[in-house]
Amino acid sequence: MDFSRDWIGQYVELPAVDELAAGLTEVGLTVEGSTESDGDVLLDVDVTTNRPDCMCHLGLAREVAVRFDKMLRVPSIQLAEVNEPAADAVEVALADGGGCPRYVARVVRGVKVGPSPGWLRTALESIGQRSINNIVDITNFVLWESGQPVHAFDLAKIEGAEIVVRRAEEGEKLTTLDGEERRLDPEILVIADAARAVALAGIMGGLDSEVGERTTDVLIECAHFDPTVVRKGAGRLAMHTDASHRFERGADPEAPKWAAARVAGLIAEMAGGEILAGAVDQRSEHYPAPLAGRLDLGRLEAFGGVEIPREEVVRILTGLGFELAPDGESAWQVAVPSWRYHDMKFTRADGAVYEADLFEEALRHVGFENIPSALPPVEKPDSGSSAPHEQRQRIRSYLAACGLAETINYAFHAAADDGSFGIWAEGEPIRVANPLSELYDVMRRSLLVGLVDSAWFNIRRGAEAVRLFESGHLFPAAGAPELETVGLVMGGARGMPWQRRTELDLFDLKGCVEGLAAHFGVSVEARVADPPGVVAGTGATVHVAGRLEVVGWMGRLELDTPYPVFGAELEVGALAEGERFSTVSAPSRHPAVAVDLTLTHAADLPWREIESAITSAGVENLTSFGLKDRYEGEGVPSGAVNTTIYFVYNAEDRSLTQDEVNSRQRALTEKLEARFGWRQA
């Protein structure tokens, strides 16, 4: 928001502009930039939403006065009023006292509408406001001076000379000052006369009742409107004005009276006319109650971690408009200025403002740069568990060690891609009600949607291989708990011939999944299945060994890629079940004996069966075995495959003799041959 340095300077003595900007920034009014123009300097101040009182020059001047320890000069108002009371000229009724806790009206008769004097035009133009006529300019000036929005009606156009603040009727129409005809509804608060709506309360005036060249009698409106009512009304009409901006953030309920007088005084001075006596000042039962709280210097110092002289606290708070009454040795009862009511209205249960509200005021003017740094004492570590994070970190490190690059994809994607992969969907996906575009309108139920996008991104750029993973949340259904999984994609050929090129296949991928599980002390197995998006005959569900529950899936993905791409996804919860710490068994000190066996068997015999037959045979001193190689082709009958298995025998306490090993291996071989050996059909 832009403010004029010279205008602020009307109310307080200013330092050089750099110092001014730094000072404002230090107290929480960040000056984001400054531009010189015609000898003045325009300051771009980031006024936070809790400080509508600083969205005006006087408000900024107050902060400057405290920051630089100067006097604040609030303009004094001396009105020459005529005898006729304003109350005889206009009636005000608050039909919606919730929406309008206060309405102040003043009347100036016999004005001459015309151009504004030079200083007023300059002031407004300095902050980018257009001059319209003296009356309108004065209302605008007072808004930018005090933060109180003001509206001026042509009193002659106010039917029955009465003002009613009420909700609009369904379908009621009003043409606003910008020339737009607006269709209203009861969500919107209006200012009406005896016949019709004449203004949108707190947002914009009506065209019919605006002050024009022929206006002689002016009705000045300075009201206090409820922030939520204005916010909802402006939202409904998609309008945003200087007035609504301030009301939505909580205006000063005491300001209307001062502002109305200020406007009346300026009108009389610049446009002539007679100010009727007094103001019509209506308050509803919703008018905010005064706020106060207790400030204890000791507690302030303990909270800030800084010593503050007693008189400095008094100077700062008094300068900011708080009223302090001593309450004990070094404590005060503090009355909050009305322009801060909104900010501090959520009080303690007993109605007192939170002391932190007051601490903040003192500390930001003490200056955060003057607060000594310290580390909080640590008596013992936090009682929470970081286990899920640590597990995720180990997963990432392991998969990176496996050669995969970690990716991060958006957690939402196009609805059309929902269901293309994954096994965790339950019913309908969670839809984003206001998506960025239809490309991002449902929450993911498989990490593979994003990973496949990433794989494509790389393949289109000529990647000869893709090896990617991601860990993240899935959103199986509305109301269902989020599920954390890790997803993998792999495919292509890795490395140049010099690097010993590897064609990546399903078993490279499966090895990563098995290895990952084993890294956590969990053994997983694949069972033939047909998960979505997987080429028939290549799919599997993943299970913790021997258990029924599905914890993942894998397979060759059904994609039109230049080389086969394989995918897998695993619930990370399955990894939490293993032993966190691994133990080892010392290898025998005696030599081991290795034996190979080549078994010719039907090609459709699963390895799993051979494996479990060997395990269940319980061969003595057989310490390990595994797949050495597979061969199909010349010399192997069609429909069969040669599986070469390695066996390692070792005894804990002695060297095994070749004869011992041979006889055990022979018995095992006979068993396997008898059960699985190839017989010509």
Partner 1 sequence: MAGGGTPDSVGDLARERERFEREAAEVSSRDAWEALRLRWVGRKQGVVRALLAAIKEVPVEQKREYGQVVNLLKRRVESRLEELEGELERAERQAAIGAAAVDVTLPGRRPALGSLHPVSIVTQEIVEIFSAMGYSVAEGPEVEEDYYNFQALNFPPDHPARDTQDTFFVEGGKLLRTHTSPVQVRTMLEREEPPIRVICPGRAYRFDNDLRHSPMFHQVECLVVDKGITLGHLKGTLEAFVRKLFRPETGVRLRPSYFPFTEPSAEVDITCPFCSGDGCRTCSDTGWMEILGSGMVDPRVLAECGFDPEIYSGFAFGLGLDRVAMIRFDIPNIRVLFENDERLLRQVRG
Identify the residue among 78, 386, 583, 616 touching partner 1 (CB under 8 A).
386
For partner 1, the binding residue among 5, 151, 249, 413 (CB under 8 A) is 249
- Whose CA is closest to 234, among 187, 198, 173? 187
Is residue 181 within 8 A of residue 210, CB to CB? The reply is no
Q: Which two tokens stand for residue 484?
A: 């954390």
Q: How many whole angstroms separate alpha carbon 97 and alpha carbon 102?
A: 8
Closest CB to partner 1 among 198 and 447?
Answer: 447
Rounded CA-CA distance 680/660 in Å is 33
Using CA atoms, how far apart are residues 135 and 153, in angstroms rounded to an integer? 10
The residues in 127-146 that bind partner 1, with binding defined as CB under 8 A, are none
- The position carrying tokens 């291989």 is 465
Secondary structure E strands in 311-359: 323-326, 331-335
Tokens 């919703």 belong to: 286
**Among the listed residues 431, 527, 547, 666, the single contact to partner 1 using CB under 8 A:** 431
Cβ-based nearer residue to partner 1, 302 or 416: 302
Q: Which stretch binds partner 1 (CB under 8 A): 213-221, 321-329, 379-387, 559-567?
A: 379-387
Q: Which is nearer to partner 1, 41 or 266 (CB)?
A: 41
**CB-nearer residue toward partner 1: 22 or 416:** 22
The residue range among 111-119, 283-291, 368-376, 577-585 that interacts with partner 1, by the rule CB under 8 A, is 368-376
Total chain residues near partner 1 (CB under 8 A): 97
- CB nearer to partner 1: give 335 or 432: 432
| Residues of this chain, 309-328, that bind partner 1 according to CB under 8 A | none
How far is CA 58 from each of CA 61, 74, 671, rounded to the nearest angstrom?
Answer: 5, 8, 98
**Nearer CB in complex with partner 1: 282/407:** 407
Distance in Å, CB of 664 to partner 1, minimum: 38
Residue type, 470: E
- CB distance 65 to 251 below 8 Å: no
Distances (CA, A) of 510 to 239, 578, 645: 58, 19, 19
Q: Alpha-carbon distance 65 to 365, whole Å?
A: 11
What is the smallest separation between the CB atom of 588 and partner 1, expressed in angstroms? Answer: 30
* Both structure tokens of 394: 């180990």
Distance in angstroms (rounded) separating the CA atoms of residues 412 and 617: 51
Q: Answer yes or no whether residue 498 interacts with partner 1 by CB under 8 A.
A: yes
In angstroms, give the least distance from the CB of 612 to partner 1: 33
- Tell me whether residue 250 is exposed, middle or buried, using C-beta atoms within 10 angstroms of its C-beta: 0 to 12, 13 to 18, 19 or more: buried
Cβ 200 vs Cβ 188: under 8 Å: yes
Candidate residues 7, 14, 43, 51; the one interacting with partner 1 per rule CB under 8 A: 51
| 454 is a site residue for partner 1 (CB under 8 A) | yes
CA distance 509 to 467: 9
φ, ψ (nearest 5 deg) of residue 402: -75, -5
Restricting to residues 267-306, name those near partner 1 by CB under 8 A.
Answer: 302-306
Of the candidate spans 138-146, 189-197, 363-371, 645-653, the one that interacts with partner 1 by CB under 8 A turns out to be: 363-371
**443 touches partner 1 (CB under 8 A):** yes
Q: If binding is defined by CB under 8 A, does position 375 make contact with partner 1? A: yes
Cβ closest to partner 1, residue 83 vs residue 437: 437
Confirm or reject binding of residue 368 to partner 1 (CB under 8 A).
yes
CB of 451 to partner 1, least distance (A): 8
Nearer to partner 1, 409 or 643 (CB): 409
Nearest to 153 by CA among 244, 237, 241, 216: 216
Q: Which of 197, 256, 199 is nearest to 224 (CA)?
A: 256
Distance CA 651, CA 593 (A): 10
Output phi, psi for 20, to 5 deg: -60, -50
Residue 26 is a binding residue for partner 1 (CB under 8 A): yes
* Interacting residue with partner 1 among 16, 76, 500, 583 (CB under 8 A): 500
Say whether residue 50 binds partner 1 (CB under 8 A).
yes
Q: Which of 179, 346, 350, 681 binds partner 1 (CB under 8 A)?
A: 346
Beta strands in 29-142 (DSSP E): 30-37, 40-46, 81-85, 91-94, 102-109
Give the residue with the Cβ less far from partner 1, 404 or 595. Answer: 404
369 binds partner 1 (CB under 8 A): yes
Nearest-angstrom CA–CA distance, 464 and 210: 72
Between 416 and 436, name the residue whose CB sits nearer to partner 1: 436
Give the binding range for partner 1 (CB under 8 A) out of 76-84, 203-211, 490-498, 555-563: 490-498
Q: Does 430 bind partner 1 (CB under 8 A)?
A: yes
Closest Cα partner for 580 from 522, 523, 520?
Answer: 520
Site string for partner 1, 387-426 (x = CB under 8 A): -xxx--x--xx-xxxxxxxxxxxxxx--------------
Kindly state whether residue 20 participates in binding partner 1, applying the rule CB under 8 A. no
Tokens of 451: 């990973």
For residue 497, state whether it binds partner 1 (rule: CB under 8 A): no
Output the smallest distance, CB 431 to partner 1, in A. Answer: 5
DSSP designation for 159 = G
Least Cβ distance, residue 590 to partner 1 (angstroms): 33
CB 116 within 8 A of CB 134: yes
Distance, in Å, from the CA atom of 99 to the CA atom of 95, rounded to the nearest integer, reads: 9
Residue from 75, 212, 227, 419 binding partner 1 (CB under 8 A)? 227
Minimum distance, C-beta of residue 598 to partner 1, in the bound complex (Å): 31
Angle at 124 between CA 120 and CA 130, to 5 degrees: 110
Q: To the nearest whole angstrom, how small is the minimum distance from the Cβ of residue 481 to partner 1? A: 8
Q: With CB under 8 A as the contact rule, which of the stretches 187-195, 210-218, 381-389, 543-551 interacts with partner 1?
A: 381-389
355 binds partner 1 (CB under 8 A): yes
Query: What residues from 457 to 486 belong to the interface with partner 1 (CB under 8 A)?
Result: 457-458, 461, 463, 466-469, 472-473, 475, 478-479, 481-482
Instruction: In angstroms, give the least distance from the CB of 42 to partner 1.
Output: 18
The interface with partner 1 within residues 527-556 (CB under 8 A) comprises: none
Cβ atoms of 97 and 266 closer than 8 Å:
no
DSSP 8-state symbol, 651: -
Does 434 bind partner 1 (CB under 8 A)? Our answer is yes
